[in-house]
């Protein structure tokens, strides 16, 4: 059912290669998660090619963006998502049907058992896929923030602040790490703005991420957290269920 497919031509030169080369587009098995990374920077010709992949509603939404750069980011991120999904399902990108659940998290009408989540930051997008359960992913470019102290005070618990502020040289990178912990979890459970970041408390000890507490009775058990990095520099977190899940970074095919 989840056999390999030929790598989609539209995504060559878009999916970022990090390490080994994937020759074909692999099938997604239970017990594993595929984590794709894409560049959102492309030529005008490539952007136009990918714009045609979008649904009429998505094309209309793209036209609402005030700045051309934001419009291009949206076109790239949504088109890559459509092409990836269509390749998993062996259908045309235009046949992919996505709707939103009650709390706003998108799902596939074609195959609700293919769970996915995406995140974009500046020039990079990441895409997570699972056959087992909901996933959440968040990526952030580590960059200077003029209101860093205010953001830490507003969004972090006292325990998190103690970790972030312990080493001034790591304050910025640790803030972004903890931010992606929280955002990826909120996206996994589908709560969005109903549960704000300051209502979650995470720990980070010897590289291990832990969810210490969640206020207001939201789900906290059974979730696993995996941090990752991308050149840029970018930091990200994947939230998923299932101990022992194999997380596969997916790469550009040989050309």
| Backbone φ and ψ of 137, nearest 5° | -140, 145
pLDDT tens column, 187-230: 998 876 566 777 889 999 988 999 988 776 656 668 999 999 99
Does residue 183 have a pLDDT over 70? yes
Q: Is the pLDDT of residue 16 over 90?
A: no
Residues 20-44 pLDDT 10s: 445 577 889 999 999 999 888 889 9
Q: What is the pLDDT of residue 23?
A: 56
Mean pLDDT of 228-237: 92
Residues 26 and 36: beta-carbon distance below 8 Å: no
Question: Distance of CA 61 to CAs 87, 116, 179, Å?
Answer: 24, 21, 27
Kind and range of the H or E element at 202? strand 200-205
The pLDDT tens digits for 79-126 are 999 999 999 999 999 999 999 887 788 999 999 999 999 999 998 999
124-130 and 32-39 beta bridge pairing: antiparallel
Alpha-carbon dihedral sign for residues 174, 240, 96, 29: positive
- Phi, psi for residue 93 in degrees, rounded to 5: -55, -35
**Residue 3: what pLDDT?**
61
Its CATH class, for the domain covering 9-139+242-250, is alpha beta
- The mean of the pLDDT values for the chain is 88
The domain spans of the chain are: 9-139+242-250, 142-237
DSSP 111: -
Tokens representing 157 are 């618990």
Residue pointed to by tokens 């618990």:
157
**Whether domain 142-237 has CATH 2.60.40:** no
Element housing 245 (H / E): none
The model's pTM: 0.90
Domains 9-139+242-250 and 142-237 equal at CATH topology level? yes
From the list 94, 96, 98, 129, the residue with the least C-alpha distance to 114 is: 129
The H or E element that residue 12 is part of is: none
What per-residue confidence (pLDDT) applies to 19? 45
Q: Report how far residue 245's alpha carbon sits from residue 10's, in angstroms, rounded to the nearest whole number.
A: 29
Average pLDDT over residues 50-61: 95
Of the pLDDT bands very low, low, confident and very high (cuts 50, 70, 90), residue 254 is very low
pLDDT computed for residue 255 by the predictor: 35
Return the SS3 of 90: coil
């Amino acid at each position: 059912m989840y056999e390999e497919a030929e790598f989609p031509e539209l995504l060559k030169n878009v999916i970022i290669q990090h390490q080994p080369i994937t020759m074909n587009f692999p099938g997604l098995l239970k017990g594993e998660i595929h984590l794709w990374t894409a560049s959102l920077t492309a030529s005008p010709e490539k952007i136009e090619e990918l714009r045609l992949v979008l649904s009429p509603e998505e094309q209309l939404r793209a036209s609402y963006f005030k700045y051309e750069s934001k419009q291009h980011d949206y076109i790239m991120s949504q088109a890559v998502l459509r092409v990836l999904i269509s390749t998993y399902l062996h259908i045309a990108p235009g046949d992919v049907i996505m709707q939103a659940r009650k709390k706003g998290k998108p799902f596939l009408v074609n195959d609700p058992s293919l769970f996915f989540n995406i995140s974009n930051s500046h020039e990079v997008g990441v895409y997570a896929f699972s056959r087992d359960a909901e996933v959440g992913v968040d990526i952030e470019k580590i960059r200077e923030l003029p209101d860093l102290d205010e953001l830490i005070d507003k969004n972090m618990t006292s325990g998190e602040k103690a970790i972030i502020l312990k080493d001034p040289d790591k304050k910025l990178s640790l803030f972004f790490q903890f931010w992606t912990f929280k955002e990826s979890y909120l996206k996994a459970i589908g709560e969005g703005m109903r549960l704000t970041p300051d209502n979650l408390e995470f720990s980070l000890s010897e590289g291990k991420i832990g969810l210490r507490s969640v206020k207001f009775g939201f789900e906290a058990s059974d979730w696993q957290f995996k941090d990752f990095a991308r050149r840029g520099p970018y930091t990200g977190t994947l939230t998923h269920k299932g101990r022992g899940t194999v997380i596969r970074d997916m790469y550009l095919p040989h050309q």
